[in-house]
Amino acid sequence: MTETNPIIGRGNRDGAALFRSWFDDLNSAAQRGEKAAYVFVMGSMNEILKSFDMHVTFPEITSLQLAVRHVAHDYLQEAEDYGYSPDICGYVKADVGVQIRGGKHPMGQIPKPNISVFTNACNTYIKWAEIWERLHKIPIFTMDVPGHRQLGVYSKPGDSNFESDRSYVEIQIRELITTCEEVTGKKFDIDKLRETMDYTNQMSASWARILELNRNTPAVYNALTDGTIFLGVANAFRGTQQGAKYFADLVEEMEYKAETRIGTVAGEQHRLTFVGVPCYPIFRRFNELFSEWGGTFVHSSYLWFASGGTNRGYQYDLTDPVRSLSEGTLLNVRDAMDSMFDQTRMIKNAINEFQLDGVIYHPIKSCRTVSTGLADSRRQLLHDTGIPSLFIESDMMDRRVVSEAQLKNRIDAFFEGLNSTKQRAAAGGM
């Protein structure tokens, strides 16, 4: 029987196990006082840092784990008592809570950083890293990645604008290598960099394939719930053999499910895309509010920007690693920024490709970067396509601004409307 085939659900099981091992590794690094870097999901530069054998911590991920485990409010309160405003990014405040507690986290000890590396993809990254600079007296490294200059005008490799931006990123990567040599006391090894980039190539090709496989009906995974597990591995294990293998296995599982038409939910009725950052304080319940109506998230902008643009499947040229890393960083981080600020263009393409029935916009209180402008984006999408959409607000960390009852009312009304529209269409009324 297909239901008992161990390949089904393997991605979620292996992903959870890998994730625990990532926390275990951070815990041991903290105990042994080994070198660690704090980085972010949009432009982690994991390939460079792994080539120097550094442990890499993603505070966005360690913070969201606090919300999933229903303890974030304690950490947020501690940071607010310390003087941080209720208005700022909840990830920052949860992390400040962890730092105040000397790195203690429910999943283990988070090591102190020896360096922080971040891009300008989110302005909060820069101010957040300055907190660690002050707290831990560490060097911080800003990778300034130029975005698109004009909506609708996208330079590409070979264009003079693109090549000058790429050179600008390459110079910074070479400076980062020198800084890593100083921090670790190790000499840069270009073959080791090639190896980490090769693993990222394998992972990126698989990630692009995974996203594509959800064009199938029924959808083979839920982009919101399963997708978040995949994203955790994509970030924490980028540039590693384990990460490459995990994603090769995941492709095998999803291709099998597509071939045998095994969907992620029984009775898929409404295919949805999700725009924004998930509601982690009630993560499972939030999804159930949709799945109880037969709604499945087959697609999401989160899987693009929170993978740092890995969705593009970009392949590094290993014959010229540093140059190619600069090109890939520019393309991927730029894509991640577009996925946050200008996702309408991409969603328009997805409507047919993924046979979408509706778009769920989820702006959140504490992430202005992703949420600002979503109301305008929704208006534009409605004007251009007429696709039904829902605009619901809550938060990714702060349970004080998450009202399940209000969310449920809005979501129920959305599905009632969607059902009656479909019924009228089936009856030939529209």
Q: Is 43 or 243 the residue whose CB approaches ligand SF4 more closely?
A: 43
Residue 322 buriedness (CB in 10 A; 0-12 / 13-18 / 19+): middle
CB 60 → ligand SF4: shortest distance, Å? 6
Sign of CA dihedral 121, 91, 102, 134: positive
Q: Is 37 or 254 the residue whose CB approaches ligand SF4 more closely?
A: 37
Residue indicated by tokens 């409605």: 382
CB 232 → ligand SF4: shortest distance, Å? 15
Q: Is 124 or 394 the residue whose CB approaches ligand SF4 more closely?
A: 124
The Cα 94–Cα 92 span in angstroms is 6
Q: Residue 340 to residues 121, 313, 361: CA-CA distances in angstroms?
A: 9, 18, 12
CB 171 → ligand SF4: shortest distance, Å? 25
CB 119 → ligand SF4: shortest distance, Å? 11
Q: Is 396 or 411 the residue whose CB approaches ligand SF4 more closely?
A: 396
Q: Is 120 or 184 the residue whose CB approaches ligand SF4 more closely?
A: 120
Buried b (16+ CB within 10 A) or exposed e, 245-267: bbbebbbebbbbbbeeebbbbee
* DSSP per-residue codes, 276-297: E---GGGHHHHHHHHHTTTEEE
CB 121 → ligand SF4: shortest distance, Å? 8
Q: Is 308 or 358 the residue whose CB approaches ligand SF4 more closely?
A: 308
The residues that touch ligand SF4, with contacts defined as CB under 6 A, are: 60, 89, 91, 122, 124-125, 367, 369-370
Three-class DSSP category at 227: helix
Q: Is 125 or 341 the residue whose CB approaches ligand SF4 more closely?
A: 125
The Cα 69–Cα 61 span in angstroms is 12
The Cα 197–Cα 424 span in angstroms is 52
CB 367 → ligand SF4: shortest distance, Å? 3
For residues 58 and 40, the answer to whether their CB atoms sit within 8 Å is: yes
Neighbours of 278 (CB within 10 A): 25
CB 59 → ligand SF4: shortest distance, Å? 9
